[in-house]
C-alpha cells in the first residue's frame, strides 16, 4: 500500500497532529473543561490501543523501512536527555517530556533521574500550570482564544454538510452540540482526543510528567521556573487557520476510539526514545492534500516556540545547573532545541 492509499483510508494524520494540540491542552491544565466534555464518554472505555508503527512493520515492510531511514536522518532524533555545556559554567540538562499521566511516561529513566537530582533549578514550559489562579486569570484575560465571544458558534458559517457531520458526531457521543457550541474547534478537538483513562487519572490527582517534575522540585527545595506563558501557548494555537481547526475536529470525531492507537504509538516511541520517528510517522499517515496545513502547524507550534524557548533558556544555562524539561517534539530536527542551542554556542551531547 503506498502513502496516498494509506492517507485516503485513514484520517490518523490529522489526529496525530492533534496529539501535539492535546499536549498543549494538558500542559495548560484545563481539567474542568476535560471533565465537562468527558462526562458524556463512557468511564469504562478501554485505553488499550495498538502500536501503529508495529502494524506498518508487519503489513507494509517497505513503508516501515522508509520510515526507519527517514527517522535515522533526523538530526538529534534519538534520545530524550541531553547534556548542555559551556566553558566555565556548571553543566545543565535538556529533557524531553510527554504531557501525560501514563506511568510509562512519568517514571523517569535512571539517567534522567540522576540528571534531575544533580540540578539546582528545574525549568518547565510554563509555571502557570502550577497555579490555578493564574490559569483562571489567563482564561479571563483572553477568553477569545478558547471560546467564541463575538456571537459566532462552532458551526456558524460552515457549509451545511460540515456542520451536520460535527453535530451528528457529537450527538452520537452523547454530547449535545449546543453545550459546546461556543468552544473553538481546536479546543474541542483536543479535548475529545484525550482518552478517558487520562482524564480519570488527572481527576484522581495524578500529574502529567511536567507537573510531577515541578512538584518534586518544590519538595526538594529546588526553584521552578518557566520558559513560556499560558497566553503565549494559547495564542500560538489559536493563530492557526480556522479551516485547519475545523478539519482537525472532523477528523478527530471520525477517528473515534482509534485515537487510542495514536496515543499508544506515541507512548511506545517515547519509551524507545525514538523522537525522530514521530514526524516521519505523522507525514506517512497525513491525509492527501493537507501538506500546507501540516507545515503551518509545525511552523507555529514547534519552530516558532523553539526559538522562544531557546532565548528564555539561555539565562538558566548560563547560570548552570539547570534541568530544562520541554515537550519531546521540541528536541529533534534542524530547527529543534538541540540544534538551536548548539548554534548559540553550547555543546549539547546525548546523555541517556
Report how far apart, in Å, the C-alpha atoms of 327 and of each of 134, 227, 263 are: 21, 12, 15
Q: What is the pLDDT of residue 83?
A: 98
Reference 95, options 264, 282, 220, 227; nearest CA is: 227
Residue identified by cell 491544565 is 29
Q: What is the pLDDT of residue 19?
A: 55
Sign of CA dihedral 77, 300, 311, 136: negative
- In our burial notation (b when 16+ CB lie closer than 10 A, e otherwise), range 224-258 reads bbbbbbbbbbbebbbebeeebbbbbbbbbbebeee
Residues 192 and 33 sit within 8 Å (Cβ to Cβ): no
Q: What is the pLDDT of residue 35?
A: 40
* Domain edges within the chain: 3-147+183-350
Q: What is the pLDDT of residue 213?
A: 97
pTM (two decimals): 0.87
Neighbours of 51 (CB within 10 A): 16
Residues 317 and 86 sit within 8 Å (Cβ to Cβ): yes
- Cell numbers representing residue 126 in the block: 510554563
How far out from the chain centre does Cα 38 lie? 19
Residues 335 and 306 sit within 8 Å (Cβ to Cβ): yes
If you write DSSP's letter for every residue of 258-308 in order, what string do you get?
Answer: GHHHHHHHHHHHHHTT-GGGHHHHHHHTSPTT-HHHHHHHIIIIIIHHHHH
Q: What is the pLDDT of residue 244?
A: 79
Reference 270, options 140, 105, 141; nearest CA is: 105
Q: What is the pLDDT of residue 20?
A: 53
Neighbours of 90 (CB within 10 A): 14
> Digits of tens for pLDDT over the chain (352 positions)?
333 333 333 444 544 555 555 555 444 444 334 444 444 444 444 578 889 899 999 999 999 999 999 999 999 999 999 999 999 999 999 999 998 899 999 999 999 999 999 999 999 999 988 887 777 777 788 888 888 999 999 999 899 999 999 999 889 888 899 998 998 888 888 777 778 788 778 778 888 999 999 999 999 999 999 999 888 888 888 888 888 788 878 877 877 777 788 888 889 999 999 999 987 887 776 555 455 666 777 788 888 999 999 999 999 999 999 999 999 989 999 999 999 999 999 999 999 7
Amino acid at each position: 500500500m503506498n502513502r496516498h492509499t494509506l492517507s485516503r483510508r485513514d484520517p490518523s494524520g490529522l489526529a496525530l497532529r492533534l496529539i501535539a494540540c492535546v499536549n498543549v491542552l494538558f500542559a495548560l491544565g484545563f481539567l474542568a473543561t476535560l471533565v465537562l466534555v468527558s462526562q458524556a464518554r463512557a468511564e469504562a472505555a478501554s485505553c488499550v490501543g495498538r502500536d501503529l508503527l508495529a502494524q506498518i512493520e508487519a503489513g507494509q515492510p517497505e513503508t516501515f523501512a522508509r520510515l526507519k531511514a527517514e527517522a535515522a536522518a533526523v538530526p538529534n532524533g534519538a534520545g530524550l536527555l541531553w547534556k548542555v555545556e559551556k566553558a566555565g559554567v556548571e553543566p545543565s540538562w535538556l529533557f524531553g517530556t510527554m504531557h501525560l499521566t501514563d506511568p510509562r511516561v512519568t517514571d523517569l529513566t535512571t539517567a534522567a533521574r540522576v540528571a534531575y537530582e544533580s540540578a539546582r533549578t528545574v525549568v518547565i514550559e510554563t509555571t502557570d500550570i502550577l497555579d490555578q489562579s493564574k490559569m483562571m486569570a489567563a482564561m479571563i484575560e483572553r477568553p477569545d482564544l478558547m471560546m467564541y465571544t463575538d456571537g459566532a458558534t462552532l458551526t456558524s458559517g460552515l457549509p451545511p454538510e460540515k456542520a451536520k457531520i460535527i453535530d451528528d458526531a457529537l450527538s452520537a457521543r452523547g454530547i449535545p452540540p449546543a453545550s459546546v457550541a461556543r468552544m473553538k474547534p481546536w479546543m474541542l478537538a483536543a479535548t475529545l482526543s484525550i482518552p478517558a483513562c487520562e482524564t480519570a487519572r488527572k481527576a484522581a490527582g495524578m500529574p502529567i510528567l511536567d507537573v510531577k517534575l515541578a512538584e518534586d522540585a518544590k519538595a526538594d527545595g529546588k526553584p521552578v521556573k518557566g520558559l513560556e506563558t499560558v497566553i503565549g501557548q494559547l495564542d500560538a494555537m489559536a493563530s492557526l487557520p480556522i479551516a485547519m481547526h475545523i478539519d482537525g475536529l472532523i477528523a478527530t470525531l471520525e477517528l473515534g476510539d482509534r485515537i487510542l492507537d495514536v496515543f499508544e504509538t506515541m507512548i511506545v516511541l517515547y519509551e524507545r526514545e525514538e523522537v525522530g520517528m514521530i514526524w516521519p510517522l505523522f507525514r506517512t499517515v497525513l491525509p492527501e492534500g493537507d501538506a500546507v496545513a501540516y507545515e503551518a502547524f509545525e511552523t507555529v507550534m514547534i519552530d516558532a516556540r523553539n526559538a522562544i524557548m531557546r532565548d528564555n533558556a539561555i539565562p538558566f544555562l548560563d547560570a548552570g545547573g539547570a534541568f530544562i524539561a520541554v515537550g519531546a517534539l521540541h528536541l529533534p530536527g534542524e530547527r529543534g532545541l538541540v540544534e538551536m542551542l548548539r548554534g548559540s554556542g553550547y555543546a549539547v551531547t546525548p546523555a541517556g
